[in-house]
Amino acid sequence: MPELPEVETVRRTLKALITGKQIQHVTVRLPRIIQRPDDIQAFANLLAGHTIMDVERRGKFLRFILDGLVMVSHLRMEGRYGLYLQGDVLDKHTHVVFHFTDGTELRYHDVRQFGTMHLFQTGEDLQLKPLAKLGQEPLDPSFTLERFKEIVSSKSTKIKPLLLNQEYIVGIGNIYVDESLHLAGIHPETGAKALSDEQLEHLHQAIVSTLTEAVAAGGSSVKSYVNGQGESGTFQQQLLIYGRKNQPCTTCGTMIEKTVVAGRGTHYCPSCQRPSVI
Ligand SMILES: [Zn+2]
């Protein structure tokens, strides 16, 4: 599933490709992708004639900013957007097509069919589902060490599920949680309340640096992720721990182990990330 760096990369490429384009009409080939409004024809009718002003991001959601409307879209497992020319061969996994007045088309392609689109009037989307309950943006200047301590210290849970919970901090999924915990030398099953001030400082730094570097590399191309121009990211080559079971830790040479924490496959180094003694 794309996480913050991948969605941010898609956002940047789409912003460059489609800002200023006016929608002529919309074709919905798979109604279940459209979550709001209930009426698929209303979704298409509302968008017709509107111009894309910007593409923003909230957590792992894309926000297409139009004149008077906001379309919120989640790629879930394998959704992807691409810009095509009218007349290009249509793939059977293309579920929604936004036809622009200049003869180009934004196509939404999703083999797994789990992706979603919600359409709102301007000003509504951040107050309603699915964005309303989202937590702190980790790459926003407001994500200070103090803010991080405030979020973590009040929770009676293990640190990995806390970091995965989008109501606390957004955009971090399984890959970047494992990477951040490894970089900070913290065992994924450590209780949030058991973390020392020093560990919290290291973890805060690790989250920000891991996400920042991953964005700079265009995200990680694990599974079928590509950006809005069909290009792969390269951060998977820099991953220290994720997907490296039974390979030596780059810090200490100990074999990396894989276990399950909070129902998720979890990679860690048993030497660099020792469980805390409470
Ligand atoms: Zn190690």
pLDDT at position 223? 66
Q: Are residues 105 and 165 in the same domain?
A: no
Answer yes or no: is 140 within a domain: no
Range of the domain at 195: 145-268
Residue 17: how many CB atoms within 10 A of its CB? 17
CA of 3 to the centre of ligand 1 (A): 25
In whole angstroms, give the CA distance from residue 164 to residue 176. 9
Copy the structure tokens of residue 208: 């920000």
How many structural domains does the chain have? 2
What's the Cα-to-Cα distance from 146 to each of 71, 79, 151, 205, rounded to whole Å? 33, 35, 9, 12
CA of 243 to the centre of ligand 1 (A): 15
Q: Are residues 59 and 173 in the same domain?
A: no
Residues with C-beta atoms within 5 A of ion ligand 1: 249, 251-252, 254, 269, 271-272
Between strands 116-121 and 34-36, the pairing is: parallel
Copy the structure tokens of residue 118: 């919600």
pLDDT at position 221? 80
Q: What is the pLDDT of residues 97-135, one digit of tens each?
A: 999 999 999 999 999 999 999 999 999 999 999 999 999
Is 112 a known ligand-binding residue?
A: yes
Q: Are residues 54 and 121 in the same domain?
A: yes
- Positions of E strands within 67-219: 69-74, 80-85, 94-100, 104-109, 116-121
Give the torsion sign (CA, 240, 245, 248, 253): positive
* Segments of the chain scoring below 50 in pLDDT: none
In whole angstroms, give the CA distance from residue 17 to residue 98. 13
Answer yes or no: is 83 within a domain: yes
Contact predicate 50/100, CB 8 Å? no
Q: Are residues 262 and 163 in the same domain?
A: yes
Q: Write out the catalytic residue numbers.
A: 2-3, 60, 264
Q: Are residues 253 and 171 in the same domain?
A: yes
Is 93 a known ligand-binding residue?
A: yes
At 202, which CATH number? Answer: 1.10.8.50
With H, G, I as helix, E, B as strand and everything else as coil, classify residue 101: coil
pLDDT at position 1? 78
pLDDT at position 108? 97
CA of 29 to the centre of ligand 1 (A): 49
